[in-house]
Each structure stands twice: as C-alpha cells, then as structure tokens.
Chains A and B, each alone.
Chain A
C-alpha cells in the first residue's frame, strides 16, 4: 500500500477539507440563527450536496468563511474558529462558545481518502448537527430577539479561549484521521451562563443589571467584525436546490441593521437559483465504487473534475473576489481585554459552584453571596430598607448601569477586619460595622434568589434550604476533642493488641501456610 499520497488523493483530500470547513461553519451559524432548520432528504443525488447532507449554504457565511481562510486550509497551529457571542441591546457582549476545527500531526496513512475519509467527514458533520443543539448557547439563540442577539465571527489561526471566562467546558464533536493529519472538531463553551436561566433575559429589564458582572466591553478589531446570526432566507424560487422551510413563526427577529453587519444588502437578495448553479459546480458528485466487483475500487468519478478547486461562479454581492486566491494575512484572533479581576473571581466562584464543590460552609457562603448579587443587582431590594443597612449594604442597592465603578462585583471593596472566619471570607462584605457576627440576619434581609430557584412559585424553597444549612453543625467525628479521644484510646489499646497477636503467632503462620 502506498504510503505517499497520490497527487489525485491529495487534491481530493484538500478539497474535502476545504468544503468540510465551509460546511462546518454553515452548520454552526445556522444552528445559532434562532430558527428551526429543516432540509429535505433527496433519494436521487443532486450532485451538489457535499458529504451527502442537505446543508444549505448561506452566501454571507460562505463569504466570511472563505475570507477568513484566505485560501488556506486548517493545519497544525492554524485552526479555523467560529466564535459565537451574545450582544445585548445595550451593547454589552459576551462570548458564549468557540468552535474549533483543528488539525494535528497524527497521520493515518492507511486510510482511503475518497471513501473512508469522506464518509467519516460526513459522520462528523452529523455529529456537529447534533452537538450544536446541545450546548447552552442553542437555547439562548432560539430566544434571541429584542433584548439580545447572537453574533458569530470566523477567524483563522490560533485558538483564543480567553474570552470564555474561567471554568469553560469543552466538548469534542469528533475526529477524522487523514493521511496528512487528524482533523478535530470541538467546542469550548462558557458554562457560567448555563446557570443564567433564559427567563431572566426575557423578564428582567434592563438586562444590564443581570449581566454586569459577566460582560466586558470588548473592542472589535475592524478586520474581523461580528455578524448577527439572524439571517432570514428569501423566497425559495429555485427548483434545483432542496428548499428550506422558512419557519417564520419561530424566528423572533427581523434583520439586524446594526453596524457590524456589512452584508445586510446582500441578505435579502439570496437567490437559491444562482446558488444552485454555483453549488453544482463546486459540488461534489458522489460516485463511489462499491463492493468487490468494482472495476476501479474507490475511484472518484465525476464530471468537471479537472483537479484542483473548481471555480465558483459569481454570486450576488460577492463576485468572484470571494474565491480569488488572496495573499492577505490570515485573521488573527481578537485579543479581548482580560476579564476584570472581580469578574474572573466571580466566574471562578461560580464555576466552583457548578462543579458541585460545596465542601465547607465557607465556600458555600461565598458562592451564595456572589450569586446573589449577580442575579438581581437591578431588582428593587425591598427588604434592604428594613434593617440597618446604610453603610454595609448601600453598595448592593440597585444602581444605574453606568456606575460600574461603584459596583462591588467590578471593584470589590477591601476586605474588612472581621471576627468570625465566616465573615472574613466575604470579600465584598461591608465595613467592620457590620461584622457583629449576625451573619444570618444580614443575609436574610436581602431578597435571596439562588440560581436554580423559580421566581413565582415558592421562591423561598431553595433559599430556605440554603439558609438553614449554611451553618451546619460540625460532624462529631471531625471535632477535635472526640477525635483526639478516640485516637488516644486507639494508641493505648495498641500494646494489648500486639501482645495478643504475638501469642497467636503460630496460628497466624499456619493460616498463611494454607493460603499458599
């Protein structure tokens, strides 16, 4: 078996990888449009459906992807990344996910390009379809509309995970080995958002009050703008391409005319007829040699294949420049400003809570405390006025959005000198005037909304639970006195036990003999 890749195989492989990358981007972006996707199966191959899957091609997305790739292919150290972020109506944004298509050096020389690699890439796309519905951003994207939109950005180069906050999780969609390397598709997603019920976005205006501790205003470099994921297809008048249902009732937003969208003019002019023609040319007619009786096993047969990438005909508003080989530098990732210390602390604490680390009451308290403030900073705190709250809790009173400087989550005040160790852990606790040891009373005053509790129905169930068990009594076995006592007893009884064992040495030996 040839270990070197034939030139034909190499060309095929490059083409597969290129179109796999483009289709990957399409699947991801379409999954974040906020609509239900529906494509039809077709028993007769149209010759335009890569990987035997009906995945629509949104022209803008293809254009952006090609622009990002700039004629290159994913390789070691050069990954194609699709970043999904959320942007509120106030202009704050937060990165939700990062999908990475990477290539590593592990080669599988034995694998057949035109057959096995192709089928496995198809399987990987199906896995991607499944996984894109499973990450937290999917549900957010289905509810996008007035208060926030979902944006995407494609870049090529090094993977930048810093925008996801701490404690992000990774899910691997899959890998496909090829003779030139192993393609890996994975997603890193922010998890602290998972605790933010989407209901909060629907019901609580202004949205800034909830998310102030997560969002950091990031400047976008002009070279890689964000794009909204709320494309709506026009009337499908082309019979060539499998039609896509336009589920109007699910789509909650119309076109966004916000500045990052450079391609709003072309969105409305989506012409599937032209696309159909284009797809046929760049499509991959699927003719495999199957089974044992094939004259040319695993030979790729198809019209119009002159080797290399077939030219893509011009599409409206994009022209052929979309496909011209450009020597522009690949887009580097956006270097987001680092999260502020308090927000990273917040996310870290949150992520601790998400990992279920509720070891000591100390941690639990801290977690609760942080969660509390983040969840309802903007809500009117009725009970706050009931107690003596002028100094210690004034900073937790609802504020205007702009007063970020005063927000304790952004700029935590100095830790006060406190008596009890519990209070010492609460960094944002008020001045020493509050450290009278009445921890319970202090917490009761604020309308406590733990992360999982429901707003309307019995809101205090989980809260009551938390309060009751904030300070559980020490386990008796862990208390020093009893522990020391039992230890002392053990030590005292040791000599006696040893004496008994020595007496029975012979019996023990006999027993050991029977075992051997």
Chain B
C-alpha cells in the first residue's frame, strides 16, 4: 500500500493532529515546514540527528516562566553546553537540560533501531513538530495545531573500509555544518512564533514539564521507507502533559 503523501499519524489519547492546513480560528495560519537531508553511516545516525534536533530546540526553548501578579512573568536562564561527536568530526551546542537530552536520545534511539531493523536500504525521516494546543469545548478534544515542522531525511550508507569511513567522518561533519547554518537562517527569519501566553495558557504553548528549561510544545515522529517505496509509519509521540489533570 502506497501512501502519498506520508499519512498523518495515528493519534492515541487526547488531541488529534491536523496537517498543515488552516484550522478553525487558529493563530497559526500556516505551518512552516523545513526539510533537511543527510547521508550518514549507520553509526553516525544518532549523533547527526541529535545535533540537528538539539540545535533546533536550542532556538525554540526559553527559561522557565515564573508568573507574578499583574500578569508579569520572569524568565529563567538557559544554559548551554558543547557536545563533541564521536563518529563525526563535528561539535554542536545544546541546551543544558538532562531531561530534554534524555527525551531526544530516546526518540532518536528508537528511530535508529527502526532504521536498522527495517532491513531496507536505510532510508527514513524523523520529524520535529512544534504545535500549539487549542482548547475545544466538550465533547471535542483539544486540537494540536502545528506551526513549525522540521523533517530530517536520512539515508544510511554502508562503507567498505576504514579509509572511506574516515572520509565520511569529515564529509558528514561538513554537511552538518551546512545544516546548522541552514537552521540558523530559518530561525533568523523571525517568522511566526506563538504569542507569549498568560499563565492559564502557558501549557498550550510551552512544555512546562521540564524542570530547568521550557521548550515550545513539540512532538517527534519518524517514518521508515522500505525498499518498495511504501511508507511504514511508526509513530512515537511524546506524551503531552495532561492539561485536565490538576
């Protein structure tokens, strides 16, 4: 069965994802979509994906909000740290948040396993989507309205000898440098960002579950393309904090 375009994800639990069309009265009129492509060796997949995802999330995370009276709020501080890659001649900066790092590693680990296990020619893509939640009246469940979608298409190559691997280390490092520049360029366009929310709305815009930083609400999903060209959709969805819980 061929899916053209990649099918929307199966959603389990609250919220359904709308594709990048203009939903009701949502502030996000258009979902900004960026696609990056990389060709890497199998053992480089994890680091390459983490580098890109962390760079995006660095730009899409703020400090924790602390609301005070009169609607004012203060913002915590975001720390950063350098990460050296072991299999790529590359280094990147990520937000200093172990929770965030763990969440990303988990997602990327699953993606890597799926890529390896698919037995295909090693093509797949991982997507990082930023969305806003829109409360709907009962009996309708909340909507998730995406406003930015980053897709990283991965092509895993197999290399024959150590010399090729060495060349690959450097080449992939250079490619990732280009990707970082691309990401920064997109970020610099200062296009739509959700408005800073009031205290009651903050969970509709930001992920407030982390204790040290506050990224915009995001979810990560991936797809593996098997050799027949069909898409086998596998969804890994990051749990959204249940806003109905007290």
Query: A residues touching B (Cβ–Cβ < 8 Å)?
Result: 36-46, 49, 52-54, 115, 120, 123-124, 126-127, 129-131, 133-135, 138-139, 142, 171-176, 242, 245, 285-296, 299, 301, 452, 454, 457-458, 461
Q: B157 near A: Cβ within 8 Å?
A: no
Q: Given the complex of chains A and B, what is the CA–CA distance between A121 and B136 in angstroms? A: 35
Which residues from B are CB-within-8-Å of A131? Answer: 180-181, 184
From the candidates B68, B80, B190, B195, name the one contacting A54 in the complex (CB within 8 A).
Answer: B80
Give the size of the chain B interface in residues (CB under 8 angstroms): 53
User: Contacts A36-B82, A42-B212, A126-B58; is A295 near B70 (CB within 8 Å)?
Assistant: yes
Q: Mark B57-93, 1 if CB is under 8 A from A, else 0.
A: 0110011111110111111111111101000010111
CA distance A462 to B90 in the complex (A): 24
What 7 additional pairs, Cβ within 8 angstroms, besides A123-B190, A129-B80, A288-B196? A38-B96, A42-B76, A43-B76, A43-B211, A126-B59, A289-B71, A457-B166
User: Taking the complex as formed, is B95 at the interface, i.e. its CB lies under 8 A from any CB of chain A?
Assistant: yes
How far apart are the CA atoms of A271 and B197 in the complex, in Å?
Answer: 39
The residue on B at minimum CB distance from A40 is: B79
Choice from B68, B95, B181 contacting A134 with Cβ under 8 Å: B181
Q: Which 4 A-B pairs have the closest CB atoms?
A: A291-B198, A294-B71, A174-B188, A39-B79
Q: In the complex the two chains form, is B72's CB within 8 Å of A290's CB?
A: yes
List CB contacts (< 8 Å) of B192-242 with chain A: 195-199, 201, 211-213
A294 to B, closest residue via Cβ: B71
| Pick from A41, A45, A115: contact of B95, CB under 8 Å | A41
Other-chain contact of B184, A39, A127, A288, A299 (Cβ < 8 Å): A127
A296 to chain B minimum Cβ distance, whole angstroms, is 8
Question: In the complex, how many angstroms separate the beta carbon of B210 from the nearest chain A beta carbon?
Answer: 9
Q: Are A457 and B163 in contact (CB under 8 A)?
A: yes
The answer to whether B93 and A53 have CB atoms under 8 Å apart is: no
Distance between A121 CB and nearest chain B CB, rounded to angstroms:
11
For B199, give its contact among A138, A174, A291, A295 (CB under 8 Å).
A291
- Give complex CA distance A124, B199 in Å: 26
Q: Please, which residues of chain B bring their CB within 8 A of the CB of A43?
A: 63-64, 66, 76, 211-213
Q: Tell me the complex Cα distance, A301–B63, Å.
A: 18
6 contacts between A and B (CB under 8 A): A41-B212, A43-B213, A49-B77, A52-B62, A245-B81, A293-B198
Are the C-beta atoms of A174 and B76 separated by less than 8 Å?
Answer: no
Contact assessment for B77 and A289 in the assembled complex, using a CB-CB cutoff below 8 Å:
no
* Docked-complex contact A41 and B78, CB < 8 angstroms: yes
Say yes or no: B199 contacts A52, CB within 8 Å.
no
Interface residues of B in 159-182 (CB under 8 A from A): 162-163, 166-167, 177, 180-181
Minimal Cβ-Cβ distance residue in A for B188: A174
Nearest to A118 among chain B residues (CB) is: B75
Task: Select which of A127, A285, A288, A294 is within 8 A of B187 by beta carbon.
Answer: A127
B55 at the interface (CB under 8 A from A): yes
**Cβ–Cβ < 8 Å partners of B181 in chain A:** 131, 134, 171
The reply to whether A41 and B77 contact each other, CB–CB distance below 8 Å, is yes
The CA-CA distance from A294 to B81 in the complex, in Å, is 35
CB-based A-B contact count at 8 angstroms:
172
Chain B residue numbers with a CB within 8 Å of A124 are 188
Complex CA gap A46/B58 in Å reads 20
Q: Does B185 contact A (CB under 8 A)?
A: yes
Instruction: Please indicate the chain A residues that have their CB under 8 angstroms from the CB of B67 in the complex.
Output: 290
Q: In angstroms, how far is the closest chain B Cβ from the Cβ of A247? A: 9
Q: Mark B38-69, 1 if CB is under 8 A from A, else 0.
A: 00000000000000000100110011111110
How far apart sit A40 and B180, CA to CA, in the bound complex (Å)?
A: 23
By a CB distance below 8 angstroms, the chain B residues around A287 are 68, 72-74
Interface contact A127-B211, CB-CB below 8 Å: no
What CA separation (Å) do A503 and B70 show in the bound complex?
88
Q: Would A294 and B72 be within 8 Å (CB), given that A41-B95, A41-B97 are in contact? A: yes
- Central interface residue in A40, A54, A176, A290, by most chain B CB within 10 Å: A290
Q: What is the chain A residue whose CB lies nearest that of B166?
A: A454
The one of A130, A142, A288, A299 in contact with B183, judged by C-beta atoms closer than 8 angstroms, is A130
CB neighbours (8 Å) of A126 from chain B are: 58-59, 80
Interface residues of B in 94-109 (CB under 8 A from A): 95-97
Q: Which of A49, A123, A242 has the most CB of B within 10 A?
A: A123
Given the known interface contacts A52-B77, A127-B59, A138-B91, the answer about A291 and B201 at a Cβ–Cβ threshold of 8 Å is yes
A40 to B76, CA, bound (A): 11
Contact B96 A46 (CB under 8 A): no
Q: Is the CB of A130 within 8 A of B188?
A: no
- Residues of chain B within 8 A (CB-CB) of A296 are 70
A41 touches B76 (CB 8 A): yes
- Tell me the complex Cα distance, A296–B58, Å: 30
- Chain B's closest residue to A120 (CB) is B190
**B56–chain A nearest beta-carbon distance, Å:** 10
Given known contacts A123-B187, A130-B58, A172-B185, is B72 in contact with A53 (CB within 8 Å)? no
- What residues of B have a CB within 8 angstroms of the CB of A458 in the complex? 163
CB distance from B47 to the nearest CB of A (A): 14
A174 touches B187 (CB 8 A): yes
Given contacts A43-B212, A126-B59, A172-B188, contact A242 B77 (CB under 8 A): yes
Residue ID in chain B nearest A452 by CB atoms: B167
Contact of A174 among B70, B71, B184 (CB under 8 A): B184
State whether B198 touches A242 (Cβ < 8 A): no
Query: Assuming A134-B177, A138-B91, A291-B71, is B80 touching A39 (CB within 8 A)?
Result: yes
Let me know if A290 and B71 touch, CB within 8 A: yes
A290, B201: Cα distance in complex, Å: 11
